[in-house]
Amino acid sequence: MTVRRGFTTTGWAATLAAMIRNGEVSAREVSSRYLDAITELNPSLNAFTTTTVESALEQAEQVDRLVARGEDPGPLCGIPVAVKDNLCTRGIPTTCSSRMLDGWCPPYSATVVEALRQAGAVILGKTNMDEFAMGSSTETSVYGVTHNPYNLERVPGGSSGGSAAAVASGMAVVALGSDTGGSIRQPASLCGVVGMKPTYGTVSRFGLIAFASSLDQVGPFGRSVQDVALAYSVIAGYDSMDSTSLKVSFDGHSRFLQLDDSNISTRGVGNTLKGRLDGERASSAVAVAGRTTGTVQVGSRDLGIYTDEVLNAPVDGIRVGILKEISDSIAPDVHRRVMEAAEALATLGARVDEVSIPELSYALPAYYLIAPAEASSNLARYDGIRYGLRVEDEDVVSMMSATRSSGFGSEVKRRIMLGTYALSAGYYDAYYGQAQRVRTVLIEAFLRAYNDFDVLIGATAPTTAFGLGEKIGDPLTMYMSDVCTIPSNLAGHPSISVPYGTGDDGLPVGVQVLAPALGEPVMFSVAATLERVAPELQPPKLYHDGSLYYKNAYLQEADR
């Protein structure tokens, strides 16, 4: 392996961090290269809505100073990152891509943003998104659409389309997004990168501008499972500022680099961890079920062992279920890739079988009652009184009304109306109440399936990237884009999308790995395995000289 291999703007987080830590390259040089890439590519992609050149270079220089003094700046040492624009960044505009918050600068940073900084990451800017994270194509942004790096006429997916496109195009090494119904995984799938939604409660929501509180979870994008696992280990952890935060313990920087569990058996990491976590799984599953929330006292546990051992763990003996219901509603070319992925796992010794969870068919309707209901309440605060847009009118009531009419786009208004209706007196039981009961039923169905399987797999999205403008006029068709991803949000379970070849149109396909609550380790093991065996995915051809090139870090290791 040549040291400068892949280092233009295509370094993998752990490798690049090690290079910066060892002084092989300065953080400043790395950030400059990435900022140059943004300058060159962003005009055609519109992935970033704000870039923070000055503060990025300052952060990079600070990292270099620490390195010069012989200190370790952290696991993301000098790594350029992008942050979705619904995560508060102190003094940096945080807008949710909405006219309502245009230009609003929060006086505080989200816990996850602080965690990135403390881990040595360099924040390059804020990324475009569907307005208030409501959408599956990044077309509802007030700042215009983001384009798919693989085909500028296609959507990047959404709502975290900007973060997905930034990572796919090499404008950032890793990026943060938020996932309420698939908003990380679906754009990851459409843009050919890895994207993960963590177990609800393992990543703080403090500073994440709420869409649907019981479903929202912050998660990372990266070009490899390893990058995503590394970024996750940085942002995960208990936060006293978020009452739904789980008390899961991590032990500083070593959590990724060192293995501290001597009980890893030859049967594979997943099964061993499953045994360890089994006792707590039921209670945490209830804890994320919203209405039936239990007192969260999960106790001390160490999930932070995303080591090479975890990522390289063999999958033989691991029980993999192919989700029938997800397979039924997807395009044939996407389905073919899912079946190939399953076969590959079977070849490696996994016990693969099809599994049916009929309750999954109720997930989409339940989601479109619960999410808008919570959103209708969460978005009430944008009333023109304290911050953001104010449209003056003759009295306070009409001012509030005028502000909200003007500040919100039509998709946001549609969901506020849906949610308000679902919670109204006389309709609550039939809609919101019923949807919550469905949620409980769904969690129970998942738990039954996990008696027989360690992970479940399926497509991440029904199709590859669709055309700009293709679905924006038809909300119901657009909502169907999330049919594969929504169940994990309702259950509070972790899920990851890994690129697995392309569809008939040559665009990336993602395979989704679902795991039970706190099942991240086994999820990462299976995802990393899929990544190793996946058909090679060519990078998007965005540069004239074709210099943007990357492929799986582990294959490169093996090639050497």
Partner 1 sequence: MNEMNQYRGYEPVIGLEVHCELDTATKMFCGCSNSFGDVPNTNICPVCLALPGSLPVVNSTAVEYAARIGIALHCKVQPSIFHRKNYFYPDMPKDYQISQYDEPINVDGWLDLPMSGVRIGIERAHMEEDTGKTTHMGGGGRIHDSAYSLVDYNRAGVPLIEIVSRPDIHSAEQAREYVSELRMILVSIGVSKARMEEGSLRVDANVSVRPIGSDTLGTRCEVKNLNSLRSLTRAIEYEIVRQVELLETGEAVVQQTRHWDEAGGMTIALRSKEEAHDYRYFAEPDLVRVDLGDERIDQIAAELPDTPEKRRMRLMEVIQSVESLPSDSVGDVGYDNAAVSDGTDTRQPNRVGNVITVVEMGLDHLVIAALEGGVTADRALSRTLNEAAARIEDADKLDPAAYTKLLMMEQDGKLTATQAKAVLQSMMDGGGDPELIASTMGFEAMDSSEMMDIVAGIVRDHPDEWRRYKNGEAKLAQFFVGQAMKITRGKANGREVISMLDQIKQ
Smallest gap from residue 377 Cβ to partner 1 (A)? 5
Active site annotation includes 183: yes
CB 463 within 8 A of CB 426: no
Residue 267, strand partner residues: none
* Known active-site residue 55: no
Minimum CB distance to partner 1, residue 416 (Å)? 11
> Smallest distance from the beta carbon of 511 to partner 1, in angstroms?
30
CB of 174 to partner 1, least distance (A): 21
Strands 319-323 and 351-355: parallel
Q: What share of the chain is helix, strand, coil (3-state, %, to 5)?
A: 45, 15, 45
Per-residue mark of binding to partner 1, 289-318 (x: CB under 8 A): -xx-xxxx----------------------
* Nearer to partner 1 (CB atom), residue 387 or residue 543: 387
For residue 512, the surrounding DSSP H or E stretch is strand 508-514
Q: Which of 228, 400, 513, 514 binds partner 1 (CB under 8 A)?
A: 400
Q: Which is nearer to partner 1, 27 or 491 (CB)?
A: 491
Give the one residue of 14, 19, 184, 373 binding partner 1; rule: CB under 8 A. Answer: 373
Which residues, including other chains, have CB under 8 Å from residue 401's CB and lie 6 or more apart? 393
Least Å distance, CB 337 to partner 1, is: 35
The C-alpha atoms of residue 167 and residue 7 are separated, in whole angstroms, by 15
User: β-strand 455-459 against 508-514: which pairing, if any?
Assistant: antiparallel
44 is catalytic: no
CA dihedral 12, 17, 20, 22 (to 10 degrees): -110
Q: Of 213, 283, 356, 434, which lies in the binding site for partner 1, with binding defined by CB under 8 A?
A: 213
Instruction: Sort residue 260 into left (φ over 0), alpha (ψ -120 to 50) or beta.
Output: alpha
**377 near partner 1, rule: CB under 8 A:** yes
Nearest approach, Cβ of residue 104 and partner 1 (Å) = 8
Kindly state whether residue 431 participates in binding partner 1, applying the rule CB under 8 A: no
User: Quick check: 116 binds partner 1 (CB under 8 A)?
Assistant: no
In this structure, what token pair is assigned to residue 415? 């969901």
CA separation for the pair 77, 67 (Å, rounded): 9
Using CB atoms within 10 Å of the CB of residue 279, give its burial: 0 to 12 exposed, 13 to 18 middle, 19+ buried.
exposed
**Active-site pick, 84, 197, 274, 471:** 84
Cα 290 from chain centroid (whole Å): 21
The answer to the question of residue 94 lying near partner 1 (CB under 8 A) is yes
Query: Interface with partner 1 by CB under 8 A: which residues?
Result: 86-88, 94, 96, 101, 104, 106-108, 110, 205-210, 212-214, 240-244, 287, 290-291, 293-296, 373-374, 376-377, 380-381, 383, 385-387, 395-397, 400, 420, 423-425, 428, 432
Catalytic machinery residues: 84, 159, 183
